[in-house]
Amino acid sequence: MKLKNRTKLLINGLNQEKILNELSKFMPIYNYKRLSFKQSEFEIDSRYLKQARKIIVSYGFVIENIQNYGVIFWIKSLFKRYGVFAGIIVSLLFYVIQYNFVWTVNAVGEDAQQAQQIENYVKKNLKSNFKGNIDTDSIESELRNQFDYVSSISVAIIGQSLVINFNEAVLPPEMEDEKTPIISQFDGLITEINLIQGTLNCSEGDIVQKGDILVYPYIIDSQGQQMSVEPKAEIYAQVWYRSSIDHYEYRIETKRTGNVIIKNDVYIGGLLLYSASSEISYVQYDSETTMRTLSKNLLLPLSLKKTVYYETVTEEIIEDFESVKEQLISKARENTLLFLQKDEIIKDENYTLTGGAGCHTITYTISVEKDIAKVVT
């Protein structure tokens, strides 16, 4: 193998002395051989090949063959010769690495909606995709506790998937027709009752709390027998929405200055691969961290951890209550209005002041009338 990088050219054409004289003006020529009246071959340094071809073609000669020699061309030849083999080896290595990770979660059951709920829950709470860190027994136990409709469940790793097979719980025959009572959805004072079906457990003027039973799911027939029915009723009550604001005339507050420093960490699996950040020069700060997957379902599980550091300052504030009283009342009212549902009409509103000696509380109350037996969706 020649160490110097040279190129051998075989050319065809008449009056070859002319082209050789022209080439020699720009580059050295080695090992010239006249093969026939119209053919000759010679060598040049490989770096002049592009220039030589341009000159040869411009004089009407034909380049019949080009051969390259030297270390660089030998290395390129190796790459061509063994490139496919190396590619196969690299692919096998990637496959072996990624085969140790779970990439998909599949829940199998009769109810597609329940299966989707289980899949979403497992994906959200799966702490690691590495097979060695996944405890299938623990996942089974957690799913039984989380989902009441599951009677039996099995979790297994198949290939690169976490497969969950579950069966729905079946109610015994005596419970299949069991009806549920109407439950109060709010705290309030009952103002009107329109019973359609069932047995009342409240009266007009009663004060009830959220969760109290309003109508039982049965009736008593003429024979004194209890008969199960689907309870139905319209029960209106005066409902109160409240919001409170505390004000301290002397207080210490921590605020952000607006200056931030961002730190980005790239992980492969659970290992830190790259970190880019500036030195945290703040005397006082708070931080927020988010994680984002960079290569979902790819061979390498890359993720980005972004931490934002916010510079903060601490201030002493002295603020007389009377100077901000009206603003605080307006703020308390705004906070209370957030509880109102669409189309609700305000019946009454007021506020109360409590406290003293540097600490005051404003409680704002808004009352509306609504059907507390209606299930909120």
Distance from C-alpha of 237 to C-alpha of 202, rounded to nearest angstrom:
12
377 domain-assigned = no
Mean pLDDT of the chain: 82
User: Dihedral sign, CA of 249, 251, 257, 258?
Assistant: negative
Domain membership flag for residue 376: no
Task: For residue 268, give Cα distances in angstroms to 218, 231, 271.
Answer: 61, 57, 5
Please report, in angstroms and rounded to a whole number, the separation of the first and last CA atoms in the chain. Answer: 82
Same domain, 54 and 26: yes
Boundary-marking domain end, from 44, 67, 98: 98
The answer to whether position 209 is within a domain reads yes
> For residues 245 and 113, which has the higher predicted lDDT (pLDDT)?
245
* Residue 216 pLDDT > 60: yes
Strands 199-200 and 207-208: unpaired
* pLDDT range class, residue 93, cuts 50, 70, 90: low
Question: Is residue 244 within a helix (H) or strand (E), and if so which, with residue range?
Answer: strand 232-248
Give the C-alpha separation, 338 to 327, whole Å: 17
- The model's pTM is 0.42
Q: Is 313 helix (H, G, I), strand (E, B) or coil?
A: strand
Q: What percent of the chain has pLDDT over 70?
A: 85
Angle, vertex CA 81, rays to CA 68 and CA 51, nearest 5: 25
Please report whether residue 49 resides in a domain: yes
Indicate whether 292 and 366 sit together in one domain.
no
Cβ contact 264:278 at 8 Å:
no
pLDDT in tens, 71-92: 555 555 554 554 545 555 655 5
Could you tell me whether strands 161-168 and 104-108 are parallel, antiparallel, or unpaired per DSSP bridges? Answer: parallel
pLDDT digits (tens, 9 = 90+) for 8-63: 888 888 777 777 888 888 888 888 888 887 888 888 888 888 888 888 888 888 88
CA 346 – CA 186 distance, rounded (Å): 16
The residue segments making up the domain with residue 88 are 1-98
Report DSSP letters for 114-167, one per residue. Answer: HHHHHHHHHHHH----BGGG--HHHHHHHHHHH-TTEEEEEEEEETTEEEEEEE
The pLDDT of residue 62 is 85
CA–CA separation, 212 vs 197, rounded Å? 18
> Final residue of a domain: which of 168, 192, 219?
168
Which pLDDT band, with edges at 50, 70 and 90, does 244 fall under?
Answer: very high
Q: Are residues 306 and 255 in the same domain?
A: yes
Quote the CA–CA distance of 294 and 299 in Å, as a whole number: 11
User: Domain check: are 313 and 323 in the same one?
Assistant: no
Residues 324 and 311 in one domain: no
- The pLDDT, as a whole number, for residue 377 is 46
Which pair of tokens denotes residue 48? 């002049």
Report which of 44, 63, 32, 49 is spatially closest to residue 6, judged by C-alpha positions. 44
Domain assignment present for 67:
yes
- Do 257 and 285 contact (CB within 8 A), yes or no? no
d(CA 57, CA 45): 18
Domain count, the chain: 5
Whichever domain contains 158, its CATH number is: 3.10.20
- Give the residue, 318 or 176, on which the prediction is more confident: 318
pLDDT band of 175, cuts 50, 70, 90: very low
Of residues 147 and 231, more confidence is placed in: 231
Q: How far is CA 265 from CA 156, 204, 276, 295, in A?
A: 32, 63, 6, 14
| Residues 108-159 pLDDT 10s | 877 788 888 888 888 888 888 777 788 888 888 888 888 876 777 888 888 7
What is the predicted pLDDT for the residue at 86? 56
Quote the DSSP letter at residue 47.
Answer: G
List the structure tokens of 71.
Answer: 């270390």
Give CA separation, 225 vs 196, 198, 218, 219, 220, in Å. Answer: 19, 14, 10, 8, 5
Q: Indicate whether 27 and 12 sit together in one domain.
A: yes
Residues 195 and 209 in one domain: yes
